[in-house]
Structure 1
Amino acid sequence: MTIPHSTLRLQFHKGFTFDDAAAQVDYFAALGISHVYASPVTTATSGSTHGYDTVDYTCVNAELGGEDALRRLVDRLRAHGMGLIVDLVPNHMGVGGSENEWWMDILEWGRDAAHAGFFDVDWHSPDPVLCGKVLAPFLGAGYGEELEGGKIKLAYRPDEGRFVVKYYAHAFPVCPVDYPSILRETPWLTDGFVGLSTRPDDQRRAAEARAVLVIRAGSEGGRARIEAALAAHSAGSQDGLERLHRLLERQHFRLAWWRTAADEVNWRRFFDVSTLGGVRVERPEVFEASHALIFRLFTEGLIDGVRIDHVDGLAEPREYCRRLRSRLEGLRKGRPSALRHSSGGTYFVVEKILARGEPLRGDWQVDGTTGYDFMNDVGALLHDAQGAEPLARAWGALSGRSATFAEEALIARRKILSENLTAEHDRVARKLHCIARDALATRDFTFSAVRRVVGELVVQFPVYRMYPVDSVRSAEDERYFSQALAGARAALSPADHFVLDQVAQWLGGSPDAAERSHRPTARRQALAQAQACFSQLTSPVAAKAVEDTACYRYGRLLSRNEVGADPGEFSLSIDEFHRANIERAKSFPNAMLATATHDHKRGEDVRARLAALSEIPDEWADALNDWSALNSALRRQGDNGEWAPGPGPEAMLYQILVGCWPPGLSPDDEAGVKELAERVAQWQLKALRESKLRTSWFAPDENYEKACQDFLFDIISPLRHRGFLRKLHAFVKRIVAAGAINSFQQTVLRLTSPGVPDLYQGTELWDFSLVDPDNRLPVDFDLRRTWLSSVEAKGPPSVQLSNWHDGKVKLAVIRRALALRRQVAPLFAEGEYMPLTVEGENAERVIAFARRLGGTCAVTIATRLALPLLSRDSDTPLVNAARWGNTSVILPAALGPLTFSDWLSESAVKAEGLRLVVGDVLRTMPVALLLAEKESSP
């Protein structure tokens, strides 16, 4: 089987290898998973905890066990009838150390390197110091300071016959052209290097000369000459320092302080991360080289599908996806016969952030996204729309910041563009300025004017990017570009409007823009490059500004500040949720459905609990004001008159404590509270730096950060048991049951909605994790295995509800729902999605839908917005049956008379005509998963 029934995401690293996963395959199978969904398996930077910093696409990561261990894992999976999906990172590679041979090649040989075209380098920088060079912004301080301090050193590798410039763990290769100047007056060591150029033939000569150098330099005299040469290039003397500096100036790289990257980097990065270099996978030779291993593993039957990371970073996502689909489908013929004829095509999904109403393009030929859009839908569904305005007012009053997320996001976009991605902004402007200079009508456009209008279009762009075809924006692109254009026109001076309109045409607005040139072919290429460059700027600006800045500044309700979500969109109605499911079933029925990922900022159950605050906005506002006054004496006063942590960060801190307080944790448990505080402190540091207000990764204010941490530990110290801690714990108890009901709701909706449910490692129990690294901690699979056996033996999930704090009931729900998906697989893969009407006094507090295929029908019913129906003195996540009153789910007449068995409880439910009474259906569990059978004729 190629198309999964369900997936389990695993994060591999040297502490959790393929063999470790293989030992758990029987547990994954027992849980009901059809495919393991692996983080990248290609070789990453040594010690990588995530695998997204690939340094070698050609071999399986040895730290994960290498290819042999991967084969053992696949053998175990196949023995249980399971498959493997792998994550692939085509957009960027790790370039921060010296492990990436492709990157080392271009540092050594420059634009003539065999791999010069593999990376997105601007070899024609307007800065003469960088022209023909690669900026290497890896120094911890200024170049002069590090050089004079002796931290930059010339070194020789005797086993390679190679000179390198060492800087701590970094090693930058010296071009062999310069070996004779290093080994002056030693022709017997350098005769093979004399007269070399950087041409390919000379690069081969250099390799031969190195082999000779290894032998000759290994002699006693050779070693002495090497040592003398190194000493002559040592910063220990003024002559040595100047000699080393001159040598560095002749190299194809320019060593620089890491802070220069934002303004001067001349190669595309992943977002603003200067240790990740953009790969030109749009070039056929790069595509083949970077995918060769994946293609071989697929052909040999070791993998069954791919997940593409950050597809929006690519120059041409549509063309890339279509090419990859074609290659994989073509390779299916070479797979083992047992896998060759599996159902459906090769499974292929992309990581894509979609705005509300933005469709995944149908012509990409993918199976869908990795599920951020579903996570956004189901997350918004948990929120009460009536809480939006009062919570926004409370946040604005308490924090002193804007109550509107869009305003916060626009400020953040400007900041990211002007401070973090200046070099990338300049690069787009230069490409468009060159186009302007190429035509008489626009030759007087200045670089500054072009840069201004490009910047305004970028900050106003409402989605990640556009996807022109043949250099022309589609109707869907135009929908979003026009919004950016209108916003830019309003923000810019009228003097810039003519330039703005022309730039808009160059960015895909006119199909004949190239034909009006005297060099149409060159013009078309220039336009396509400018459009790709523009799109490769709007996407990182959106990601860094919204997800990594504004989401840490805006705190109306942190449950909506999530990857793939718009915090300005507070809630989603039941009808809107149904429409999204219907559209997914129609267009991408095999898309992933996620509620937790390796990138989430708050665990799925943290978000579910915080969503309950939307039902009691006034109570929450009162609690915030009360706690703020109670803890005011513990604030730290700064020299500038500002106090730490500040009103906004303090209010966010209270949300986090409420959201991630573990079920069952007592405020008297000093060890448990301390452990919680240490986890929250990690989140707090990251949140403060990501917000970029009073501290940042770029310029950390350690005094402020320490004051914030001290405040955190003070407010939840044992001395506060009768003060803040008691009030915090009491408030958590107020919403904990509603939060658990929300968790059940999003779990069962994920497991039964159209698509492929994805389970993130460990989240089959309660997931009160925070942002990484907290959400990537080791998972106790042995505990889960033991508990799975226990819950299976004790019957349906309803049996576990009374002890819900331990998480076994969530595990049981997942196990039972996945078992049903396997039992009636065609129903969930192909079945019609039918929204069900709910009537009665609490109709708005129930969501229900059916999946139907032929004579088989499953009905999902879930409690929502439950807080007003719950007793204040009970923390059991279940609405008393009597509180439902006459609330009923109405079945369509087409279903006929049905008898239902509930897979989540022991009850059998019979419809009263075409009516399911909610009080009966949800008597023992807050959610129900009913399998229906047609009643036989008497």
Structure 2
Amino acid sequence: MSRPVSTYRLQLTPDLGFAQVAELAPYLRDLGVTHVYLSPVLQAVPGSRHGYDVTDHSRIREEFGGAAGFREMAERLAAHDLGVVVDIVPNHMNTVNDRFWSVLKDGPASPYAAWFDIHWVDGEVALPVLGDDVKPVVDGDVLRYHEHTFPYPGHYRLVDWREGPGYRRFFDVSTLIGLRVEDPAVLFATHEVIFWLLDEGLVDGLRVDHPDGLADPRGYLRRLRERTGGAWTVVEKILIGDERLPADWPCDGTTGYEVLNRVTGLFVDPSGAEPLVELFTEMTGRTEGYPAVVARAKRDVLDLFFRAEVNRLAAAASCPPEAVAELLAAMPVYRAYVVPGEPPPPESVEIVERAAASCPPHLQPAVQSLVQQVLYGPPEIVTRFQQACGPVMAKGVEDTALYRWYPLACLNEVGGEPDRFGLTPDEFHAYCALMRPHTMTTLSTHDTKRSEDVRARLAVLSEMPREWAVTVKEWSAALSFDPDLDYLAWQNLMAAWPISAERFADHLLKAAREAKTAISWVDPDPGYERRLREFAHAAVRLPVGEFTGRIDPFAMSNSLGAKLVQLMMPGVPDVYQGNETTDFSLVDPDNRRPVTYPRTPETSWDAAKLLVTGQALRLRRRLGGGGAHLPLRAEGEAAEHAVAFARGSADTPERPRAVAVATRLPVRLARRALVRTAAAPLGDGVGGGAVAEPDPAEDMRLGWGATTLTLPHGRWRDLLTGTVHTGRVPLGHLLGRYPVALLERHDL
């Protein structure tokens, strides 16, 4: 079993199965990755494009090639020195499966009743499917209602689809029922195939989906680690702000959203915060700050989606539902890490008590009673409350607030803090010093709101807010639709350019439904949706691409810089499918479109990104996993525009073997080289000043002036240009051809 040094994520679909993955082996090996990282492989709903709706844990998905196809794929990948990492889903499965059918038929007496997290009422479970005046029809030994089929008779009752189900579900998705993997028998039955793949050496590592939904994530990870013999394991855990993964969770780290947000922050200018927030307020009429928007959004989703969960907790805790809802809305993280029967960690006590203190005064007695039960009470209350925190955060923040408050949309990412503009190199290095050495890092995933290159373009706006304000107001004056949506639309249209009217319209429709200000998934408005599509078709005809083209030299610098930093910093870097070249995708399903291989450059940006990605991955493979992160600091007037660090190897972790250097805040760097007379300074939006000079790359090079970087002792070869450097190097020389440099020690 080999530990991954880097991974490449592929989204399996009925069109991209195991045979097609195997055919990519030579390409991926040449790219430099060590492991292919696959979306879920177990039997799922027929035609599923994501695989998180598992229906049978005992089978590898037939549409992909089944068990035989998986083995053949793994062997062909191994012949090219590539391992396999798989995504597993312990929290839930689709409700259309033989086990749940048995439970609906036989009730608590079913041998599978212990599999599912069910709230039985008089021996029945509520199923939220009813939606009109049509009556269910008995047809022999089944009950039919539209496309739904149930055993008849059975231990269930059909209720309105807007009601919560009588079982724990994944977020608000009633077709995904919660599993009780805290039961050892259930864990083994749902992981038997995964364990077989590990035992056979066909899989080297695991990505665990949504551990926050589990009753006991720490206990689950302990049992998983014991059974897998310590296989590399990362968890899809969203960490907020300075939150860290609990030290006692036995895994290698997370899937990297906290890294993604910090890397993005390196390329955001904090001086853009005030003017961009002012512009957002002017364009939308929204005057609330982000915390207030989050609080309102969480209360909205609690009322819309989670009344059943709130009422169940309230009944168990003998507490008013309003107090439960307010405490859930006030929780700032996805889980408080309280384990039933153990003293709560001081950090957990502080989180819950701080949340309680922000609840309304008239509810304080009830809230304080609930706090005691959440921290020290019966296992059911401790567990249920924590299992509810994740869905409320996900639906309230990720799927609502991030679509309502967006002064700079590159900050509106999963786990991000849109009101926190920028991260300094020193803050970045301090973060790297505390990272788990084998945690996953990423820039784009199947769940990101925007691809890394879309974010790279948006980050440029933080350096030129006045120019952006002039431009976006011109577009808005020519075409408007909904003040709650328009400004987000213009940011995404500019940053995803070129984009078809249909892709753009589909994205705006999802954004509007997620924002829930005019329409929602449960409250459509055909007239609004028709006008939205008309707006999208008209918007793509405006000269948006002219602005995008002017900022692209700076966006390219951000893109290459972020890519190099992510691939060379501590951790196991992941490349999402197709993102070794440029990708201007928006939120799913846009970012899950099929990818054509091999990736061939169509632009200079493509070529540079493919070069950086391949050279960095191959260097990481030579270095092996681990290795110290050693900050390097530029000297001179433009030093703030560089982020640089050295890396050791697995064999000699403290001895520098590689150096990565990236340009940050490129617009301000280019301004240093400009000698303006009648025209206005770059990006200030007055006097007709141009956004970019004819050769912005040259302006950036000249902007370094006399700023230098002193390399560690030895001879260093730039893998991007072939140039050899030693000692103190002028950054204008080191970064003369590309805005990044990747150096390998050349005298070993």
1:593 corresponding residue in structure 2: 441
Give 1:733 shift. 2.2
2:369 pairs with one of 491, 494, 502: 502
1:301 corresponding residue in structure 2: 201
2:664 corresponding residue in structure 1: 864
2:332 corresponding residue in structure 1: 462
1:406 pairs with one of 268, 291, 294: 291
Give 1:281 shift. 1.0
Amino acid at match of 1:173: P
Structure 2: gaps spanning 5 or more residues: 675-691
Q: How big is each residue's C-alpha offset from its partner over 1:341-371, in whole Å with a ceiling of 9 and x where there is no partner?
A: xxxx411110000011111011111000011
Give 1:403 shift. 5.0
Structure 2 matches for 1:157-168, cutoff 5 A? 163-168=141-146
Give 1:831 shift. 2.0
Indicate yes or no: 2:20 matched with 1:20: yes
2:546 corresponding residue in structure 1: 730
1:621 pairs with one of 445, 469, 494: 469
2:636 pairs with one of 840, 848, 866: 840
Change (3 A) 1:878 1:374: farther
CA–CA separation in structure 1 for the residues paired with 2:698 and 2:251 = 40
Indicate yes or no: 2:363 matched with 1:564: no
Give 1:564 shift. 2.0
1:223 corresponding residue in structure 2: none
Give 1:924 shift. 0.8
1:657 pairs with one of 493, 505, 517: 493
Indicate yes or no: 2:576 matched with 1:760: yes
CA–CA separation in structure 2 for the residues paired with 1:279 and 1:166 = 26
1:483 corresponding residue in structure 2: 354
CA–CA separation in structure 2 for the residues paired with 1:461 and 1:878 = 49
Change (3 A) 1:869 1:571: closer
2:138 corresponding residue in structure 1: 154
CA–CA separation in structure 1 for the residues paired with 2:195 and 2:698 = 50
CA–CA separation in structure 1 for the residues paired with 2:698 and 2:558 = 11
1:931 pairs with one of 730, 736, 744: 744
CA–CA separation in structure 2 for the residues paired with 1:878 and 1:928 = 16
Give 1:771 shift. 0.9
The answer to whether the 8 Å contact 1:35/1:82 transfers is yes
The answer to whether the 8 Å contact 2:353/2:371 transfers is no
1:830 corresponding residue in structure 2: 626
1:609 corresponding residue in structure 2: 457
The answer to whether the 8 Å contact 1:902/1:929 transfers is yes
Give 1:877 shift. 5.1
1:711 pairs with one of 503, 525, 535: 535
CA–CA separation in structure 2 for the residues paired with 1:864 and 1:417 = 40
The answer to whether the 8 Å contact 2:641/2:669 transfers is no
Give 1:608 shift. 0.8
CA–CA separation in structure 2 for the residues paired with 1:428 and 1:855 = 54
Q: How big is each residue's C-alpha offset from its partner over 1:461-481, in whole Å with a ceiling of 9 and x where there is no partner?
A: 111111113343212212322
2:244 corresponding residue in structure 1: 359
1:873 corresponding residue in structure 2: 693
Indicate yes or no: 2:7 matched with 1:137: no
Indicate yes or no: 2:698 matched with 1:902: no
Aligned length: 723
Residue 430 of structure 1 aligns to a residue in which SS? helix
Give 1:286 shift. 1.0
Residue 634 of structure 2 aligns to a residue in which SS? strand
The answer to whether the 8 Å contact 1:592/1:756 transfers is yes
Give 1:856 shift. 4.4
Q: How big is each residue's C-alpha offset from its partner over 1:588-632, in whole Å with a ceiling of 9 and x where there is no partner?
A: 10001100001011111001110110001121122222221122x
Amino acid at match of 2:109: D
2:178 corresponding residue in structure 1: 278
Give 1:260 shift. 2.5
Residue 814 of structure 1 aligns to a residue in which SS? helix
Structure 2 matches for 1:810-825, cutoff 5 A? 810-825=609-624
1:254 pairs with one of 140, 144, 157: 157
Indicate yes or no: 2:492 matched with 1:492: no
The answer to whether the 8 Å contact 1:403/1:556 transfers is no
Indicate yes or no: 2:83 matched with 1:92: no
CA–CA separation in structure 2 for the residues paired with 1:867 and 1:628 = 25
Residue 93 of structure 2 aligns to a residue in which SS? strand
2:391 corresponding residue in structure 1: 540
1:159 corresponding residue in structure 2: none
Q: How big is each residue's C-alpha offset from its partner over 1:290-346, in whole Å with a ceiling of 9 and x where there is no partner?
A: 1111111111111111110001011111111111111111xxxxxxxxxxxxxxx41
Structure 2 matches for 1:73-84, cutoff 5 A? 73-84=73-84
Give 1:691 shift. 0.5
2:112 corresponding residue in structure 1: 115
Q: How big is each residue's C-alpha offset from its partner over 1:520-541, in whole Å with a ceiling of 9 and x where there is no partner?
A: xxxxxxx111111001111100
CA–CA separation in structure 1 for the residues paired with 2:519 and 2:201 = 49
CA–CA separation in structure 2 for the residues paired with 1:403 and 1:293 = 50
The answer to whether the 8 Å contact 1:733/1:875 transfers is no
Give 1:706 shift. 0.9
CA–CA separation in structure 1 for the residues paired with 2:550 and 2:259 = 28
Amino acid at match of 2:98: E
Amino acid at match of 2:381: A
Q: How big is each residue's C-alpha offset from its partner over 1:481-524, in whole Å with a ceiling of 9 and x where there is no partner?
A: 22202212xx231xx4333222211111x4xx6xxxxxxxxxxx
Amino acid at match of 1:351: E
CA–CA separation in structure 2 for the residues paired with 1:741 and 1:882 = 15
Structure 1: gaps spanning 5 or more residues: 125-130, 157-162, 176-250, 330-344, 434-446, 514-526, 636-644, 663-674, 718-724, 788-799
Amino acid at match of 2:350: R
CA–CA separation in structure 2 for the residues paired with 1:41 and 1:402 = 46
CA–CA separation in structure 1 for the residues paired with 2:369 and 2:129 = 39
2:684 corresponding residue in structure 1: none
Change (3 A) 1:821 1:780: same
2:677 corresponding residue in structure 1: none
Indicate yes or no: 2:593 matched with 1:781: no
CA–CA separation in structure 2 for the residues paired with 1:427 and 1:628 = 47
CA–CA separation in structure 1 for the residues paired with 2:222 and 2:619 = 34
CA–CA separation in structure 2 for the residues paired with 1:45 and 1:715 = 37
Amino acid at match of 1:502: S
TM-score norm. by structure 2 comes to 0.94
CA–CA separation in structure 2 for the residues paired with 1:716 and 1:850 = 44
Amino acid at match of 2:355: A
Indicate yes or no: 2:620 matched with 1:851: no
CA–CA separation in structure 2 for the residues paired with 1:548 and 1:855 = 44
CA–CA separation in structure 2 for the residues paired with 1:316 and 1:714 = 51
Give 1:560 shift. 0.7
Moved more, 560-569 or 751-760: 560-569
Change (3 A) 1:822 1:168: same
Give 1:887 shift. 1.0
Structure 2 matches for 1:210-289, cutoff 5 A? 251-261=154-164, 265-289=165-189
Amino acid at match of 1:134: V
1:922 pairs with one of 735, 739, 743: 735
Residue 462 of structure 2 aligns to a residue in which SS? helix
Give the greater-gyration-radius structure (CA): 1
Residue 260 of structure 1 aligns to a residue in which SS? coil
Residue 142 of structure 2 aligns to a residue in which SS? strand
CA–CA separation in structure 1 for the residues paired with 2:372 and 2:342 = 10
Give 1:818 shift. 1.2
Q: How big is each residue's C-alpha offset from its partner over 1:148-181, in whole Å with a ceiling of 9 and x where there is no partner?
A: xxxx33234xxxxxx1112343221114xxxxxx
CA–CA separation in structure 2 for the residues paired with 1:677 and 1:51 = 28
Structure 2 matches for 1:520-535, cutoff 5 A? 527-535=378-386
Give 1:808 shift. 2.1
Structure 2 matches for 1:413-428, cutoff 5 A? 413-428=298-313
The answer to whether the 8 Å contact 1:87/1:308 transfers is yes
The answer to whether the 8 Å contact 2:646/2:656 transfers is no
Structure 2 matches for 1:681-696, cutoff 5 A? 681-696=505-520
CA–CA separation in structure 2 for the residues paired with 1:875 and 1:168 = 62
